[in-house]
Amino acid sequence: QVQLVESGGGLVQAGGSLRLSCAASRSIFNSMGWYRQAQGKQRELVARRMSTGTTTYADSVKGRFTISRDNAKSTLYLEMNSLKPEDTAVYYCNLNLFSVNYWGKGTLVTVSS
């Protein structure tokens, strides 16, 4: 069993930046990612970092968001720059471990125009 705890969300003006963190309860080297769910919409992939180091991003965030991890701290990060109102959502950390998906409770990001 793994617990994931997100932090770093908040209210920011358009054009601003935030850094989200996801702390895992133990060392993990598997694929991890960030998803988001806006009100009334389905949850969508934002960014994923594979155990090989390969990263993928949704087209809507390419060039603005950066996913990274600190294995020593068992923490996944999402650096978000040039934020837009359409980035407003609850952001969730995800771990896929032996075909089981683990999720955090999410952190709310609100971008005002």
* Cβ atoms 71, 29 nearer than 8 A: yes
Query: What is the structure's pLDDT at 9?
Result: 97
d(CA 91, CA 107): 5
Query: What is the structure's pLDDT at 69?
Result: 92
Average pLDDT over every residue of 43-71: 95
Q: 28-53, pLDDT tens digit by residue?
A: 778 899 999 999 999 999 999 998 88
Residue 4 has pLDDT above 90, yes or no: yes
Query: What is the structure's pLDDT at 78?
Result: 98
Query: What is the structure's pLDDT at 27?
Result: 78
Name, in order, each residue with C-beta under 8 angstroms of 20's C-beta and a sequence gap of 6 or more. Answer: 6, 7, 8, 9, 34, 77, 78, 80, 91, 107, 109
Query: What is the structure's pLDDT at 57?
Result: 98
